A and B are shown apart, each in its own frame.
Chain A
Amino acid sequence: MTDPTTLTAAELGGAIAAGDITAVEAAEAHYARIDAVDGAIHAFLHLDREGALAQAADIDRRVAAGERLGPLAGVPLALKDVLVQRGVPTTAGSRMLEGWRPPYDATVVTRLREAGVVILGKTNMDEFAMGSSTEHSAYGPTRNPWNTDRIPGGSGGGSAAAVSAFMAPLAIGTDTGGSIRQPAAVTGSVGVKPTYGSVSRRGLIAFSSSLDQAGPCARTVLDTALLHEAIAGHDPLDSTSIDAPVPAVVAAARHADVRGMRVGIVRELTGEGYQPDVQARFDESVELLRELGAEIVEVHCPNFVHALAAYYLIAPSEASSNLARFDGMRYGLRVGDDGTHSAEEVMALSRAAGFGAEVKRRIMIGTYALSSGYYDAYYGQAQKVRTLITRDFEAAFARVDVLISPTTPTTAFRIGERLDDPMAMYRADLATIPSNLAGNSAMSIPAGLDSDGLPVGLQIMAPALADDRLYRVGAAVETALNARWGGPLLDKLTVGGTR
């Protein structure tokens, strides 16, 4: 039997449907892989072996009974710990929620179950998704499978590391400012932030409600599309969910042809501030697209230079309110409940003990930005910038089908390197943030390696509800690059001497 962990999700799903591999075998093989390598990586915070194997056994029974299931039935998946799963510990990477077991399933989890996807466990992340390195997890950092001294990106470093280290073919991430795409870029995997409102946020522990969006992570563009299709769609229980058909992303991923497409290079997202290797891989991708028949156009999005500043007012403002509920009263950590403290003091003590430094920093920023007398100058102004950035995108998309840029200014930095320099940490999301502010869709795919052998990501951006364009362009680039490299980039990866 082929080692199930080496297969793509599409291949594994096909093998399970054909009865060549059972879902239980697939889950067990991935757990074995996790047991072998996750000690060095720390992608997972919790493994739900019992639940996953029961779910896999159910899939096997249904396959044996001749039921026709979806393309991902029986395929294992790693779930970012910011999505609630009934009865399974969910922490959002915070001490605040240590030991909390949600009484309900996120809509994404419900959709995964309906698709027969087997949820192996919960992955590590920066606390409440605030960070770009997964170093802000209360449970210790995740390491980059390409080089364990390096960060795996963040906040969804655990999901990206799990996928790139072959511990799961699929993972769910959430992207508020780049938390799916930046980890995908620095781990050599594929990640998509779908159009805001196209994947339900119900059960996604909110960081910044107007920016948060769950999305798929995988090793191939097609796998990413299959997962995208499984989780997207209207949810009446999320008021911001879009009631529109999901773009045909799987068909697009199979239609790897960019001939006649107009591809825009965003001048503001290249050049200065971008690592020379990153710029070089990007320039090569542009050439490749030209060779594949795309028309390359240069566009300007002048307001993108303000995106980072606007983001770091809007996201912390919403977070300061979203995280207020963690007060030790109803669930999670409670400190000082010894009969000597008032309820107000217990709230303060619980929050002081439960939140990490980065979360506190952002709560402080957001509280300040929303304060009376400062609101207009900060939050109000940031919302205006947001509108201008949306208009920049609209102007650009009037001329081109997709925009491209490097996903990140640099490849994976060293663990600890930016912990004392929040601004340097924040700049990791320079190129990913504009799509969140505008609510558009965007993807990161591998574009090659830098001189240290670390992955570089190519970002593709499309208008809202045109997510299918990402997959069409992504699949074309992926096919051409794999041909050039003689196989997928991740096949070059060995983790701790394994594989």
Chain B
Amino acid sequence: MTDAVLAYDEVLESYDPVLGLEVHVELGTASKMFCGCSTEFGAEPNTQVCPVCLGLPGSLPVVNAVAVESAIRIGLALNCSIAPWSRFARKNYFYPDMPKDFQTSQYDEPIAFDGWLDVEVPTDDGVRTFRVEIERAHMEEDTGKSLHVGGATGRIHGADFSLVDYNRAGIPLIEIVTKPLAGAGELAPEVARAYVTELRELLVGLGISEARMDRGQLRCDANVSLRPRWAEGEEPTPLGTRTETKNVNSFRSVERAVRFEMCRHAAVLSGGGTILQETRHFHENDGTTTSGRIKSDAEDYRYFPEPDLVPIAPDPEWIEKLRGTLPESPAERRRRLSEAWGFSDKDLQAAVNAGAVDLITATVAAGTTPDAARKWWLGELARRANETGADLDALGVSPVQVAQLQALVDAGRINDKLARQVLDGVLLGEGSPEDVVVARGLEVVSDTGALGAAVDAAIAARPDVAEKIRGGKVAAVGALVGAVMKATRGQADAATVKDLILARLTADS
């Protein structure tokens, strides 16, 4: 069943959106949160496990000091206060991928709290800045990964059987929770996307996570609620019931999920219905959400302080030392890059929101001009990412490959059209751009001797057109150029072809 949705413009006529974003980031520590197991991605299932992360009887957790350090650095980078004393707590619930049937997390005593992150959204009237206030950042452990086999939905309900991989169980996570974010109005979906993008850039800049959404290293749950608009001077209307959309696995999906939920909420509310407080699942293929669990008062995690761990009381001097290790903020970095690259504000903002800044940086580092790099990542590559629903960094082409591609164009060995075919090959895993050019025989034919035969053939085939050109109608040359290009399967340089034709037809007149 498809939910009714209201057109986006209509939503904003009657309602004001309030967002809340919960981002989980997997830390790139070598070992897990509470044991020495490796966190390497992609290993055989259940090979990176031990009694601790399997929750075997008698096992005890030991806190990974690097994870604590990372949590503090994230807190500092998000302008948070760092708690002089914080504790872990147990979040109790039963699920097969949760080895202990409780998650060791932080509850009312998080390590970092009360911060903010400024994000910028390009609009037709220039770039607008929104301050996203951070409620807290806390440490916790990841769960195992379930694979539900059979059944219609791929979820545990109705599955024939389920498999669990505990390699992920116990990987350190930092959960970053915003305060309710109001006032974004029609830009709410863009602000949500800009926040997650900016946050990712900050995390990568800190060097504490690759934060790749396609690998689940950065996961976003988007809380959306609508409240009726109120007139100027009146008390704001109370917050509406929120839904929490999970499974939002790309920057673009964050924006789409928020937009869809706004439209769905509005349709329900306008029809006189009420919003259920529930978890929703986002579907990448059609951009919709469907109902998950109903969140009710019955959902009680029975939090209590983790008795197997001692409180964390970081030395204030250590915190100050960590403050000194913070890199420039993404905003500072952008200002610097903007200057170095000579981009307009809007171009740079587009790069930021596409998650392309690091990719452009790497491409430039590999020898491409900033403008050419931007054109690739925000042009052809962005178009392809859009088509497949993937984020740019998950597309399957590296900055170095893009630089190689551009180098081939610059050398005149391929033209723009051929470059797109070479890119196809790279994305299909056929190797480097050079490999693809060679394997597919895509090099531009610029040898005039070889082209001469094709030109002569084209002239011989269309004496009528040749006559026109001889008669001075030079514009007619296009038909012959097209014929030569066709004959050479696009591998000829069109300008050279034109010159050759005109040279032949105008020389003897």
List residues of chain A with CB under 8 Å of any chain B CB. Answer: 83-84, 90, 92, 97, 100, 102-104, 106, 201-206, 208-210, 236-240, 317-318, 320-321, 324-327, 329-331, 342-344, 347, 367, 370-372, 375, 379
Contacts and interface: CB of A to CB of B under 8 A. Distances in A.
Given A210-B307, A321-B92, A321-B302, A102 B57 contact: yes
A330 B51 contact: no
Given A239-B308, A324-B100, A325-B101, A102 B58 contact: yes
Contacts of B99: 325, 330
B302 A371 contact: yes
18 contacts: A92-B57, A102-B57, A103-B56, A209-B307, A236-B62, A237-B62, A238-B62, A318-B307, A321-B102, A321-B302, A324-B92, A324-B101, A324-B102, A325-B100, A330-B99, A370-B302, A370-B303, A371-B300
A202 B57 CA distance: 10
Contact of A204 (B58, B94, B156, B309): B58
Contact of A237 (B60, B156, B300): B60
Contacts of B54: 330
Given A321-B302, A324-B94, A209 B51 contact: no
Q: Helix, strand, loop or mixed for chain B's interface?
A: loop
Of B51, B99, B156, B304, the most chain A CB neighbours within 10 A belong to: B304
Contacts of B51: 102-104
Interface in B293-334: 300, 302-304, 307-310
A385 B62 CA distance: 28
Of B300, B302, B309, the most chain A CB neighbours within 10 A belong to: B302
Given A239-B308, A321-B302, A325-B99, A342 B57 contact: no
Interface in B42-77: 51, 54-63
A274 B54 CA distance: 46
B236 interface: no
Given A327-B101, A343-B162, A201 B60 contact: yes
A106 B162 contact: no
Nearest to B162: A343
Contacts of A103: 51, 56
B300 A203 contact: no
B157 interface: yes
Contacts of A201: 60
A360 to B, nearest CB: 15
B376 to A, nearest CB: 47
Interface string B83-127: 000000010101010011110000000000000000000000000
Interface residues of B, number: 31
Contacts, number: 102
A92 B56 CA distance: 13
Contact of B302 (A325, A344, A372): A372
Contacts of B56: 84, 102-104, 330-331
A203 B300 CA distance: 29
Contact of A321 (B90, B96, B156): B90
B447 to A, nearest CB: 68
Given A205-B57, A370-B304, A371-B302, 8 more contacts: A92-B57, A102-B57, A204-B58, A209-B307, A324-B92, A325-B55, A325-B100, A370-B303
Contacts of A92: 57
Contacts of A202: 58-60
B60 A239 contact: yes
Nearest to A328: B96
Contacts of A343: 96, 156, 162
A329 B97 CA distance: 9
Given A330-B99, A370-B302, A205 B58 contact: yes
Contacts of B62: 236-239
Contact of B310 (A106, A240, A342, A370): A240
A201 to B, nearest CB: 6
B302 A347 contact: no
Contacts of B307: 208-210, 240, 318
A83 B57 CA distance: 9
The 3 A-B pairs of least Cβ separation, nearest first, read A324-B101, A209-B307, A370-B302
Contacts of B304: 317-318, 321, 370, 375, 379
Nearest to B304: A370
A233 to B, nearest CB: 16
Nearest to A90: B57
Nearest to B93: A324
Contact of A330 (B55, B63, B156): B55
B308 A240 contact: yes
Contact of A347 (B58, B94, B300): B94
Nearest to B302: A370
A238 B494 CA distance: 74
Interface in B1-57: 51, 54-57
B420 to A, nearest CB: 48
Contacts of B63: 239
A342 B157 contact: yes
